[in-house]
Amino acid sequence: MALTEKTIIKQVAVLPEQSAINVQWANQVLRDDEIISETYQRKAYTKEQQAEFEAEVTGAAAYVTAAGW
């Protein structure tokens, strides 16, 4: 009965009216590959935080292009 933790991106939303990108992650605890707990965290990035966004989010380049940064 092995427990593992995993963080995955659940949602990325481009908010053009705020010139921002909102990201939602799920923090999952799995027992034998079955989710037994899941919590969420969100973070919004503005254009001034582009470098931080690119460092923290997998596939960020496509979202940067979509946001017009």
Model-level pTM? 0.77
Percentage above 70 pLDDT, the chain: 100
Query: Residue for token digits 């965290």?
Result: 41
**Is the pLDDT confidence value at 69 over 90?**
no
What distance in Å separates the CA atoms of residue 30 and residue 32, rounded to the nearest whole number?
6
What distance in Å separates the CA atoms of residue 19 and residue 32, rounded to the nearest whole number?
41
Q: What is the mean pLDDT of residues 41-52?
A: 95
- Nearest to 12, CA basis, from 55, 42, 49: 42
